[in-house]
Chains A and B, each alone.
Chain A
Amino acid sequence: MNPIAFIYLACILFAIGSAAVLLRRNAIVAFMGVELMLNSANLAFVGFSRMHGNVEGQVMAFFVMVVAAAEVVVGLAIIVAIFRARQSISLDDPAELKG
C-alpha cells in the first residue's frame, strides 16, 4: 500500500478531531478531539518517515507523543480543578462571564 494513503487518512482524522473541538461542549470530549488531532499529525509524521526511508519522522512522532502525554496530564488536572470549582465541565459556562 502506498504510504500516501495513510497521509490522506491523517487528514481525515485531523478534520474529525477539529470538528470535535469546534462542536462539542463537554470539555473532556473536546480534549479527546485535541488528542485525535495530535495523533493524526503523528500518523502523517510516520507516513512521511516511511516515504523518505529514514527514522527522523518517527523520532519526531515519539516526541509529539511524550509532549501529548504531559499535556493530557496537565489538561485533565485543569478540568478536574474547574469541575471542583463550578460543578460543571461544559465549555459554554464561561460564557456566563459576559455581561
Chain B
Amino acid sequence: MFWVVATITVVPSLALLFARKAVHVAMAVVLTMIGLAVAYIMLAAPFLGMVQIVVYTGAVMMLFVFVIMLIGVGGKEDLTETIKGQKWLGLLVATGIGLFLTGVVSRVSLNVQEPPTQGNPTEIAGALFGRQVVVMETLGFVLIVAAVGALVLTHLPRLTPKHSQKEIAADRVRVGANPVNKPMPGVYARHNALDVPALDPEGKPIDESISRVLEVRHQTQSEEPFHAHLEEGGDK
C-alpha cells in the first residue's frame, strides 16, 4: 500500500519538472494531493485526509486551474537561460536538499507509539477548539484578510466615469436627436413589411422607421403603391 501511495505522489509530481503545459501540471498535482490524502488516512489521520481532498483538490487546485484559464492555456515557456547554468545549479541544489533531508531522517530513530484510539476528528476538535483556539481565531482573521487582499489586488479601477441611463437620455436630447424610440416599420403590413416605412398620425411616412441596413442595401420599398391600394380598399 505504501508503494502505491509513493507512486501516485512522486510520479505525478515529477510533472512539475517535465510537463510543458501548466494545465497538465495542475492535473498531475491534483493526483499528488489525492495520494497525500491516502497517506494521511494510512497514518491514522482520516480527518486531515478528508480536509486535504476538500481543500487541496477541491479548492486550491481548482483555483489554479481557474487562473490558468484566465491567463491563457497556451503561453510557451521560454527556455533561454538568463542565469548561466541555472538548470544544473537548480538540479544540484534540489538533489542536495533531498539528500540532506533523507540523511537527517535516516539518523533519527523513534519508537512508533500506538495511534490514539479515540475517534480522530473528536480528538482534533478538542485540540483545535481547546488548546489552540486563539490560533484558530487568528487563522480565521488571516483567511478574511487574504480574501480582501485578493479582491484589492485584482481590482481594476474604472478609467472613465460610469454613464447612467438618465445621463445617456440627457445627452441624446442635447445633441438634438429624437428623444423617443423610433416607430416600428410596416404599418401597411401587407407582407413581411419591415421594408415599408410607418406612418405618423398625419399620414406621412416616417423614413427613420426603416432599418438603416435595408436602406444601405436598397431593399426598401416606397409606401405609395401600398397607400394607393389601401385607399382603393377603403372605397370598396
Contact surface of A with B, Cβ cutoff 8 Å: 1-9, 11-20, 22-26, 28-29, 31-33, 35-36, 39, 42-43, 46-56, 58-59, 61-63, 65-74, 76-81, 83-84, 88-90, 92, 95
Q: Given that A19-B94, A24-B77, A59-B132 are known contacts, is A6 also in contact with B39, CB under 8 Å in the complex? A: yes
Contact A53 B142 (CB under 8 A): no
Q: Which of B77, B87, B153 contacts A90, CB < 8 Å? A: B77
- Shortest beta-carbon distance, B103 to chain A, in Å? 9
Contact with A along B124-149 (1 / 0, CB 8 A): 10011000100100010011011101
Closest to A94 in B: B82
Given A63-B135, A77-B150, A29–B22 Cβ distance below 8 Å? yes
Nearest-neighbour CB distance to chain B for A3, whole angstroms, equals 6
User: Is B78 among interface residues, defined by CB-CB distance under 8 A?
Assistant: yes
Interface size on B, residues (CB 8 A): 83
Bitwise interface map of B from 7 to 27 toward A, beta carbon under 8 Å scored 1, else 0: 001100110110000100110
Q: Give Cα distance in the complex from A66 to B32, angstroms.
A: 18
Interface of A is mostly: helix
The listed residue (B6, B16, B102) touching A32 by CB distance below 8 A is B16
Tally the A-B contacts, defined by beta carbons under 8 Å. Answer: 232
Please state if A73 and B147 are interface contacts (CB–CB under 8 Å): yes
Indicate if the CB atoms of A28 and B64 lie closer than 8 Å: yes
CA distance A98 to B174 in the complex (A): 54
B5 at interface, CB cutoff 8 A:
yes
Find A46's partner among B17, B43, B59 (CB 8 Å cutoff). Answer: B43
B17 and A24 contact, CB distance less than 8 A: yes
Give the Cβ gap from B162 to chain A, nearest Cβ, in Å. 20
Q: Which chain B residues lie closer than 8 Å to A23 at the CB level? A: 17, 86-87, 90-91, 94
Q: How far is the CA of A16 from the CA of B86 in the complex (A)?
A: 16
The residue in chain A whose Cβ has the minimal distance to the Cβ of B90 is A22
With a cutoff of 8 Å between Cβ atoms, the chain B residues found around residue A24 in the complex are 16-17, 77
- Closest chain B residue, CB of each to CB of A78: B153
**Interchain nearest-CB distance for B71 vs A (Å):** 5
Contact partners of B80 in chain A: CB under 8 A: 92
Contact present for A25 and B78 (CB under 8 Å): yes
Distance in Å: Cβ of B94 to nearest Cβ of chain A? 3
Q: Assuming the A-B contacts A32-B26, A50-B44, are A6 and B55 also in contact, with contact meaning beta carbons closer than 8 angstroms in the complex?
A: no
Chain B 100-120 near chain A by CB (<8 Å), digits 1 or 0 = 011001001011111110001
